Amino acid sequence: MTQREGALALAAGKGTRMKSDAPKVLATLLGKPMLWYVARALSALFGDEVRAVVGHRAEAVEAAFPELAGRLVLQAEQLGTGHALACALPTLTAAGLTHVLVVNGDAPLVTDASLGAFLDAARNADADLAFVTISLPDPGSYGRVVRSGQGVAIVEAKDFDPAVHGEATGEINAGVYRLRLETIAPLLARLSNANKSGEYYITDLVALAQKAGLSVLPVGCGDDEAYLGINCPRELVAAEEILRRRIVDAHLDAGVIIRAGESVRIGPEVAIGPGADLCGPLEIYGPTTIGTGTTIASHCRIENAEIASGATIHSYCHIAQARVASGCLVGPYARLRPGAVMEEGSHAGNFVEMKKATLGPGAKANHLTYLGDAEIGAGTNVGAGTITCNYDGVHKHKTVIGKKAFIGSNTSLVAPVTIGDGALVGAGSVITSDVPDGALALGRGRQVIKPRK
């Protein structure tokens, strides 16, 4: 019979020790939910043959993972991991799967490489049931692996009794299984909830399989941190630090210069070209791209942005959903909000804020400026203190400034308004009407000098 494999992530639990009503698998590490990491590793091995069991606040998990639409199984009552597998069984068999890899959805450190090594061992042994064990100095809340002359068993932490099971060895169950459905599925009906939690444990399948004469393979993976799960806030931040270190090391190995790397946080979707020079403290998240030779100074936060090669980002800048072209200078203390576009060689200097605005090639706004819903032409200079007044209290309006214009300091441009190519706007003006190409516009009261009283 041809083997057809798939994967199942268990993501239905409440995660009460996280002290939050949100589904545990939606707790984030470096900006991504922990289930995202598990699904990514599984998809690398199984493509679309990846499913997840959801339960507590299932609608929130469904909304967070539209890519899993049609591949989520509901566990209406959270009655344990064995019950979750039973809920998914009809879907797995209907898909024609012969084997399934089962992984806890709260294990964001797993990788396709670590899972692939386990799968190779399980396939080579042709075991009916294989599972991963790791050794920890403090087994904590993990199920204990108990070995005896009768074989091997997994005993949940709450039910472990040294007087019955012997002293703990530190070998624990990592919550990763490969099951042959034809032989293991019939055992699900034999699971019992006669334990301190009153739940049906998938771990009990180990003992049931051996009693049924099936082959069981524990695959020891030493102290591999890839299989650590998350049960509480302390474990969440510890796992996040492991991920952070992994990602920084990978970029260093790829030729990115990362100074003060212990204070640099880079999300898993970020792409950075070799030769880029970054300095911590620094945060970069989302599907951000940073080009070769770009310099990013300390104390910046960048999210879902495109920064081309050769750009310079000075300290204390916030950039989100914005595009920065090659040769641009940003900051210090600049804020590029969603829709901000800086074209080649443009400058957005200290305390400049852009939102849904474009700075054309070589255009400059070097100081204390707000550009919202605006289009600034190539080579234009925007003076300090200039603002585009884009909101009338009901609607947003656009400001258009042509090429090689000069906007004097402390100018208010009341949108909708257009400033022509080569136009000059005097400092301190309030501009409410369009300015033709090459014209001079002044919109301020005449200075008056009187004797001092």
Known binder of ligand: residue 384?
A: yes
Residue 143 marked in a binding site: yes
Short-list 396, 360, 393, 353, CA closest to 376: 360
Predicted confidence at residue 447, as pLDDT, reads 82
Distance between CA atoms of 299 and 315, rounded to whole angstroms? 6
37 is in an annotated binding site: no
* 401: Cα within 13 Å, side-chain hemisphere: 37
- Strand, coil or helix: what is 66? helix
The DSSP annotation for 25-43 comes to GG-EETTEEHHHHHHHHHH
Return per-residue pLDDT of the chain as tens, 453 residues.
578 999 999 999 887 888 888 899 999 999 999 999 999 999 999 999 999 999 999 999 999 999 999 999 999 998 999 999 999 999 999 999 999 999 999 999 999 999 999 999 999 999 999 999 998 877 777 778 888 777 888 887 788 877 677 777 788 888 999 999 999 999 999 999 998 889 999 999 999 999 999 999 999 887 778 888 898 999 999 999 999 999 999 999 999 999 999 999 999 999 999 999 999 999 999 999 999 999 999 999 999 999 999 999 999 999 999 999 999 999 999 999 999 999 999 999 999 999 999 999 999 999 999 999 999 999 999 999 999 999 999 999 999 999 999 999 999 999 999 999 999 999 999 999 999 999 999 998 888 889 987
Q: Are 317 and 332 in contact (CB under 8 A)?
A: yes
Cα 122 from Cα 102, distance rounded (Å): 13
Residue 158 is predicted with a pLDDT of 80
What residue has token string 């070769």? 292
Tokens of 18: 């996280």
Task: Write down the domain spans for the chain.
Answer: 5-227, 233-441
Q: Which of 165, 367, 395, 397 is catalytic?
A: 367
Looking at residue 156, its pLDDT comes to: 79
Q: What is the pLDDT of residue 1?
A: 57
Q: Are 44 and 90 in contact (CB under 8 A)?
A: no
370 is in an annotated binding site: yes
299 is catalytic: no
- Give the model's pLDDT for residue 265: 98
Is 360 flagged in the annotation as binding?
Answer: no
Distance of CA 416 to the CA centre of its chain: 38
How far apart are the C-alpha atoms of 345 and 379, rounded to whole Å?
A: 9
Please check whether residue 105 is in contact with residue 34, taking contact to mean a CB–CB distance below 8 angstroms: yes
Question: 249: helix, coil or strand?
Answer: helix
List, for residues 295-347, the tens digit of each pLDDT value.
999 999 999 999 999 999 999 999 999 999 999 999 999 999 999 999 999 99
* Whether the Cβ atoms of residue 210 and residue 149 lie closer than 8 Å to each other: no
pLDDT of the residue at 216 = 94
CB 396 within 8 A of CB 382: no
Q: At 251, is the secondary structure helix, strand, or coil?
A: helix
337 marked as binding residue: yes
Tens of pLDDT, residues 93-102: 999 999 999 9
Q: 355 labelled as ligand-binding?
A: yes
Q: Is 390 annotated as a binding residue?
A: yes
- CATH of 5-227, picked from 1.20.1250.20, 3.40.640.10, 3.90.550.10, 2.60.40.10, is 3.90.550.10
The CATH code of the domain at 233-441 is 2.160.10.10
